[in-house]
Homo-oligomer: A and B are copies of this chain.
Amino acid sequence: MRNRYFSSQPDTQRAAAELYASAKDLPLVCPHGHVDPRLFADPDYQFGSPVDLLIIPDHYIFRMLYSQGIALGRLGIPTLDSAPIESDHRVIWQLVCDHWHLFRATPTGIWIRDALADVFGITLKLNSANAMTIYDQIAAQLASPAFRPRALYERFNIEVLATTDAATDSLQQHIAIRESGWDGRIIPTFRPDAVVNIDADWRDNIERLGEAAGRTVHDYASYIQALEDRRAFFQSLGATATDHAALSAYTEALPAHSAETIFQRALKGAESSDDARRFTGHMLLEMARMSSEDGLVMQLHIGSWRNHNPAVYARHGRDMGADMPTSSEFTRNLKPLLDRFGNHGKLRLALFNLDETTLSRELAPLAGHYPILRLGPPWWFYDSWLGIMRFLDAVVETAGIYNLAGFNDDTRAYPSIPTRHDVWRRACAQWLAEQLLRGFIDDEDAYDMMRALAYDLAKETYSL
């Protein structure tokens, strides 16, 4: 359906379709996501089965099935203790298709349907009867060279794709991509959470940080130096951004000696939970300081309570669809950071969160004033048609569109990337069509805004 998702009101549909047509062929700028760089390091990388490609990496899918009582092991999700799980991918695919009605009216349902149609040319409806036919059609295509990741990169018209990489990562895959001479642009993103958030694994990660940076990390000063070294290394391989996740947006400027004291306590495993909270808050501010110097765009993802379900975590580990949103606060929490860097000429801070109530109340007013701020697109549970509509409704009137960071797909599901951009572009076209037909904006405005939302803002925000 060419005009899918647009309003059924004829004038609006026509205007939306025209706006969409002006942007649909623009290259895809992917400044934030979780695709594995290995896909591109090996020119002959193959995806495995349809289940390997579409089910096992997609927690949107298996969380929904789990909510209806289907054990994760039946879906091929590995267990930490290597307990037996379903290994016949045809059985798994049939099980998923038997329950595909669960995804009616969900973004997951739409992404999979559109990706199957647009990438694989499959227009059969997913259901019990069609399951094996569709499986065979996907599997046949995955075996062909046209479905190697690099070939898809070209076909998807991707201009640049950023991965997300631990601060301690050797970036060997990225080096291999560069050395292969391939001309796709895959760049790393510096994600230091594991060496910044003091938890059970932190000391191990500090050790790895030292190894990666080639220096002993024994105090706060050497720790900061190691982080700066790693940032420079990431930049040398094309990184233009960092990424940070925290439960809360709490920031605090610790005096140097307090940072040192907490750091030393943590090295001994003697930190308190308050130490950890304050240290994270302090390091967000310190990362802003580094970004103000080296120009890496800072991304901040706030509000996810990781691994909320202890039974699932114990059995299957992290990223199992059991991360849960919490309420967020920015006006107060970000103030220490903004007091120090909010008016900085070089720093750029892109904010993402899982609490829509902050959009009109805090994020848009903040972004409509502070020069360093940009608002990231709707994240995670909100990366959906209605989520995008609510986002634009909530922020544009106060912050305009030029304080937005454009779109990023934030996915590990590589074949869904074009679909996700397509949904964003269609949603923006629909939103702008309403604005246009009601006379809030004129044609010139609408087409400029369409291009900005689809392409320009992401490039500009991330210095790409």
Q: A residues touching B (Cβ–Cβ < 8 Å)?
A: 1, 3-9, 11-12, 63-64, 66-69, 101-107, 110, 125, 305, 308-312, 321-322, 324-327, 329, 331-332, 335, 338-339, 342-343, 345, 354-357, 360-362, 364-371, 373, 381-382, 384-387, 390, 393, 396-403, 434-435, 437-442, 444-445, 448-449
Task: Evaluate contact between A66 and B105: CB separation under 8 angstroms.
Answer: no
Q: Chain B contacts of A309 at CB under 8 A?
A: 338-339, 342-343, 369-370
Nearest-neighbour CB distance to chain B for A249, whole angstroms, equals 13
20 pairs from A and B in contact (CB 8 Å cutoff): A1-B439, A3-B439, A4-B438, A6-B438, A8-B9, A63-B369, A66-B369, A101-B445, A104-B401, A104-B441, A105-B397, A308-B335, A309-B339, A309-B342, A311-B339, A324-B362, A324-B365, A325-B362, A356-B361, A357-B357
Q: Is B445 a contact of A104 with CB atoms below 8 Å?
A: yes
Q: Are A331 and B324 in contact (CB under 8 A)?
A: yes
Residue among B308, B310, B345, B393 making CB contact with A69, cutoff 8 Å: B345
How far does the Cβ of A156 sit from chain B's closest Cβ, in whole Å? Answer: 22
A397 with B370: CB separation less than 8 A: no
The 5 A-B pairs at the shortest CB distance, nearest first, are namely A4-B439, A8-B437, A384-B397, A1-B439, A104-B445
In the complex, the chain B residue whose C-beta lies closest to that of A12 is B8
Q: Which residue of B lies closest to A338 (CB)?
A: B309
A303 and B355 CA atoms in complex are apart in Å by 18
CB distance from A252 to the nearest CB of B (A): 16
Assess A365 versus B398: contact at CB under 8 Å? Given A11-B8, A449-B104.
no
A366 touching B400 in the complex, CB below 8 Å, given contacts A371-B68, A373-B67: no
Contact B368–A63 (Cβ < 8 Å): yes
B residues within 8 A CB of A393?
386, 390
A348 CB to closest chain B CB (Å) equals 11
Query: A324 — nearest CB in chain B belongs to which residue?
Result: B331
**Residue numbers in B under 8 Å from A107 (CB-CB):** 397
Q: Which residues of B contact A434 (CB under 8 A)?
A: 8
C-alpha gap A67/B4 in the complex (Å): 36
**Is A67 a contact of B440 with CB atoms below 8 Å?**
no
**Which residues of the partner chain B approach A7 to less than 8 Å between Cβ atoms?**
438
CA distance A367 to B69 in the complex (A): 12
In the bound complex, do residue B331 and residue A371 qualify as a contact, i.e. CB atoms below 8 Å apart?
no
- Tell me if B8 and A401 are in contact (CB < 8 A): no
Instruction: Name the residue on B nearest A393 (C-beta).
Output: B386
Whether B67 pairs with A368 at a CB distance below 8 angstroms is yes
Given contacts A68-B402, A68-B403, A104-B441, 15 further A-B contacts (CB under 8 A): A5-B440, A9-B9, A67-B370, A104-B401, A105-B441, A106-B400, A309-B370, A311-B342, A312-B343, A326-B332, A326-B361, A355-B361, A360-B381, A360-B387, A386-B397
Say how far A373's CB is from chain B's closest CB, in angstroms.
Answer: 7
Please give the distance in Å from A103's CB to the nearest CB on chain B. Answer: 6
Chain B residues closer than 8 Å to A385, beta-carbon distance? 397, 440
- Bound-state CA distance A414–B460 (Å) is 37
Instruction: Return A368 CB to nearest CB of chain B, in Å.
Output: 5
Pick from B1, B305, B354, B439: contact of A5, CB under 8 Å: B439
Taking CB atoms, residues of chain B closer than 8 Å to A440 are 4-5, 105, 110, 385
Assuming A4-B438, A365-B325, A435-B105, is B331 touching A64 (CB within 8 A)? no
Q: Please, how many angstroms separate the alpha-carbon atoms of A399 and B108 in the complex?
A: 11
Q: Which residues of B contact A331 (CB under 8 A)?
A: 305, 308, 324-326
**Residue in B308, B322, B329, B400 whose CB lies within 8 Å of A105:** B400
Q: Which residues of B contact A329 (CB under 8 A)?
A: 327
Q: How far is the CB of A309 from chain B (nearest CB, A)?
A: 6
Q: Once bound together, how far apart are the Cα atoms of A369 and B356, in whole Å?
A: 20
Report how far A342 CA is from B311 CA in the complex, Å.
9
A8 CB to nearest B CB, Å: 4
